[in-house]
Amino acid sequence: MTNRLASSTSPYLLQHADNPVDWHPWSPEAFAEARERGVPVLLSVGYAACHWCHVMAHESFEDDVTAAYMNEHFVNVKVDREERPDVDAVYMAVTQALSGHGGWPMTCFLTPDGEPFYAGTYYPPVPRPGIPAFRQVLEAITHAWHEQGDEVRESAAAIVSQLAFKPLPQSTVDSDVLEGAVVSLLGHFDRAHAGFGNAPKFPPSMVLEFLLRNHERTGSVEALSMVRATCDAMANGGLYDQLAGGFARYSVDAGWVVPHFEKMLYDNALLLRVYAHLSRRDESERYRQVVRETAEFLLRSLGTAEGGFAASLDADTEGVEGLTYVWTPAQLAEVLGEAEGARAAVLYGVTEDGTFEHGSSTLRMLGAPDPEIAAKLLAARELRPQPGRDDKVVTAWNGLAIAALAEAGAVFGEPRWVAAAERAADLLLDVHLVDGRLLRTSRNGVAGTAAGVLEDYGCFADGLLALHQATGDARWLTVASALLDTALERFAGDEPGVYYDTADDAEALVQRPSDPSDNASPSGASSLASALLTASVLGAPRQAEYRSAAEAAVSRAGLLAAREPRFAGHWLSVAEALALGPVQVAVVGSSPELVSAAWQGVHGGGVVVAGSPDSAPLLADRPLVGGAPAAYVCRGYVCDRPVTTVDELVGALHR
């Protein structure tokens, strides 16, 4: 028997459609039923690639006795956090405040008005040290609701009042703040294993982009050293798929050996861009290999039939974490033979004791890559059961992928990558953009119902601006500008530089979310600031207004950048672009050599546009020189004389 989730476009919700729990999607009808029955709402939030979400589902939501209790005493609501990031953000703030930690699955108990009064994450079926059993929690909540209902409601109202939005004060993000961020990051840098902080280690993509831009502007040896060491450690560790490309969500240990195996679109898009940028400053073939393999991973493993990119690959295969990816020495020998298998074990760090579970090992790169061995192992691995795929298309994450593929394609001279970015952009415009407003997701070409949030507008606009640069097609700039205009109109707060994550006409929650922190992906406000600045540099119609809006937004992030630079990486990258100018490179006429040199030499945050004179705003009033193609390099409203040779352009870009 299916429940109310059966018609959802979310693969995560569909995974729960056959549960004995009478799940509702997030809807007014669910809360109306709770009011009518006089019971609280049990809100469960997760996502398809989440290992512990699957565990709790199997232990509790598939259990008939537990489900019967839930159905009798609660209205049960299931939410895909990737589909409704606004709901997730509001109640995750509560969960962190009440329990001292966050994560998924998230379990919250709400009044019929949506006010939270108790929250946690994963609960086991039997008690564990420090963690009550899920059934114990359910019974305690039921007792409190019926015996202390007034106190519960008062507590919920007090919690909501504490959530009231308080914008960050305005502050200057100048060279001192940027230098201070580098110093702070040095203090958190793991000199033994690279990366920042302790286990678990997440790929710090936006922080690495900031450090790379800081090096380009200041020549900081420390900044570049942190980038190289971390990119080396990630690329050569278990976090990276040594056979097929692509990065896992995080490393369980500090040494990047054992990953949490889910692969997210946003991680791989952001890291693709970082490695592509690093390859311009470092000629290491390893970085170029990672770029090529990660781009191909996006196309091969996450590409959808409609032209978009799927949200993730699951951590589990047939209910076992990492089953597809791990190896034993015996398995290597079975595929490669004894001698070559032994060499592969040394190359990939596969030991008899194992680095993972049950004597198996993740693959690391401990020597020079061997494409022949990798190809044989990959062919054998593809015969194994494969992880599930969440094939919904998320607007913001596809925007990140569009930007990464367009830019990497331009830098590497790979038109296939640019074409893939164009197909994804066309899908979003055809399916996700309705009457000038973005929807959050689609699946199989059918749009979901959730409204787009600020990150959808910022990240998609940024992707379109990258496409404009990679192709020279002015229509991408036009569409991006329209999205930015909508974002400025619908998401701005009452004070300059303040933005909410939901539109002014979005469904009202107990709090209108506004989180400036850059976490796993750019915050809505930082992605908007980045796109606004880029559009202004590219000559968008409202370029002066866009730049002012970008500067005002960055000024709200100064305190965050100074105190917690690890959670302000994208903000700091935008601030670096502002500090640098940023650089504009306009190539008029047909010269693949000049275009390639421009993409290889431009600093992060800079822009490149190539085409015939007057075919794009940045090319306006910039003629050929003596009938020959020419490049115009400008910084901060000051332009050098046009150049016509690659050597001259390289010199101009490195001044």
- pLDDT digits over 112-139, tens only? 999 999 999 999 999 999 899 999 999 9
Q: What is the pLDDT of residue 636?
A: 80
Domain boundary among 384, 402, 421: 384
Preceding amide of 40 cis, omega within 30: no
Task: Name the pLDDT band for 144 (thresholds 50, 70, 90).
Answer: very high
Q: Indicate whether 290 and 434 sit together in one domain.
A: yes
Buried b / exposed e along 612-644 (16+ C-beta atoms within 10 A) = eeeebbbbeebeebeeebbbbbbbeeeebebbb
Q: Indicate whether 570 and 587 sit together in one domain.
A: no
Task: Name the pLDDT band for 488 (thresholds 50, 70, 90).
Answer: very high
459: in domain: yes
Domain boundary among 140, 162, 184: 162
Is 70 exceeded by the pLDDT of residue 207? yes
Name the pTM for this structure. 0.96
319: in domain: no
169: in domain: no
170: in domain: no
φ and ψ at residue 16, rounded to 5 degrees: -105, 5
Which DSSP letter does residue 299 get?
I
φ and ψ at residue 416, rounded to 5 degrees: -60, -40
The answer to whether residues 550 and 488 touch, using CB atoms and an 8 Å cutoff, is: no
The per-residue pLDDT for range 379-414, each reduced to its tens digit, is 999 999 999 999 999 999 999 999 999 999 999 999
Percent of the chain predicted with pLDDT > 70: 100
Q: Indicate whether 295 and 406 sit together in one domain.
A: yes
Structurally, the chain folds into a number of domains equal to 4
How far apart are alpha carbons 588 and 610 in whole angstroms? 6
DSSP letters, 8-54, are -S-HHHHHTTTSSS-EEESSHHHHHHHHHHT--EEEEEE-TT-HHHH
Q: Indicate whether 404 and 348 sit together in one domain.
A: no
Is 80 exceeded by the pLDDT of residue 595? yes
Task: Name the pLDDT band for 3 (thresholds 50, 70, 90).
Answer: confident
33 burial level (CB within 10 Å; 0-12, 13-18, 19+): middle
Is 90 exceeded by the pLDDT of residue 545? yes
The per-residue pLDDT for range 290-343, each reduced to its tens digit, is 999 999 999 999 999 999 999 999 999 998 999 999 999 999 999 999 999 999
* Nearest residue to 444 via CA among 542, 304, 346, 575: 304
How far apart are alpha carbons 542 and 154 in whole angstroms? 48
Which two structure tokens, joined as six digits, stand for 432? Answer: 């996700």
The per-residue pLDDT for range 549-586, each reduced to its tens digit, is 999 999 999 999 999 999 999 999 999 999 998 899 99
The average confidence (pLDDT) of the chain is: 96
* Nearest residue to 521 via CA among 223, 273, 285, 161: 273
Q: How far is CA 550 from CA 381, 413, 515, 530, 578, in A?
A: 47, 31, 17, 7, 9
Q: What are the start-end ranges of the H helices in 106-250?
A: 134-147, 149-162, 175-188, 205-218, 221-236
How far apart are alpha carbons 80 and 390 in whole angstroms? 11
333: in domain: yes
How far apart are alpha carbons 25 and 84 in whole angstroms? 11
Q: Indicate whether 481 and 549 sit together in one domain.
A: yes
Is 90 exceeded by the pLDDT of residue 165? no
Question: What CATH code is carried by the domain that includes residue 131?
Answer: 3.40.30.10
Q: What is the pLDDT of residue 491?
A: 99
116: alpha, beta or left, given left = phi > 0 and alpha = psi -120 to 50?
A: beta
* Nearest residue to 199 via CA among 238, 254, 237: 254
Is 80 exceeded by the pLDDT of residue 2? no
Is 90 exceeded by the pLDDT of residue 99? no
Count Cβ atoms below 10 Å from residue 245 Cβ, excluding itself: 23
Which DSSP letter does residue 565 get?
G
Q: Indicate whether 136 and 82 sit together in one domain.
A: yes
Domain boundary among 384, 419, 434: 384
Which two structure tokens, joined as six digits, stand for 131? Answer: 């963690």
Compute the average pLDDT of residues 182-196.
98
Beta strands at 312-313 and 263-264: parallel, antiparallel or unpaired:
antiparallel
Q: Indicate whether 600 and 569 sit together in one domain.
A: no
Is 90 exceeded by the pLDDT of residue 654? no
Question: What CATH code is carried by the domain that includes residue 472?
Answer: 1.50.10.10
5: in domain: no
Q: Indicate whether 292 and 304 sit together in one domain.
A: yes
* Nearest residue to 237 via CA among 338, 125, 361, 344: 361
Q: Residue 511 contacts by C-beta under 8 Å, 6 or more apart in sequence?
A: 90, 93, 160, 163, 164, 165
Q: Indicate whether 338 and 430 sit together in one domain.
A: no
DSSP letters, 307-370, are S-B-SEE-SEETTEETTTT-B-HHHHHHHH-HHHHHHHHHHHT--SS-SSSTT-B-----SS--
Tell me if residue 628 falls in helix, strand or coil.
Answer: strand
The per-residue pLDDT for range 440-453, each reduced to its tens digit, is 999 999 999 999 99
Quick one: the chain helix, strand, coil %, rounded to 5? Answer: 50, 15, 35
Q: Residue 481 contacts by C-beta under 8 Å, 6 or more apart in sequence?
A: 535, 540, 541, 542
Domain interval for residue 542: 175-314+390-579
Which two structure tokens, joined as six digits, stand for 531? Answer: 């796109």
* Nearest residue to 105 via CA among 86, 115, 119, 90: 119
- Angle, to 10 degrees, between the axis of helix 175-188 and the axis of helix 221-236? 40
Task: Name the pLDDT band for 55 (thresholds 50, 70, 90).
Answer: very high
Q: What is the pLDDT of residue 1?
A: 53
Q: Indicate whether 345 and 435 sit together in one domain.
A: no
CA dihedral 410, 412, 418, 420 (to 10 degrees): -160
How far apart are alpha carbons 573 and 582 in whole angstroms? 11
6: in domain: no
Q: Indicate whether 190 and 142 sit together in one domain.
A: no
Q: Indicate whether 129 and 68 sit together in one domain.
A: yes
Q: How far is CA 479 from CA 460, 461, 505, in A?
A: 10, 8, 22
Compute the average pLDDT of residues 409-437.
98
2: in domain: no
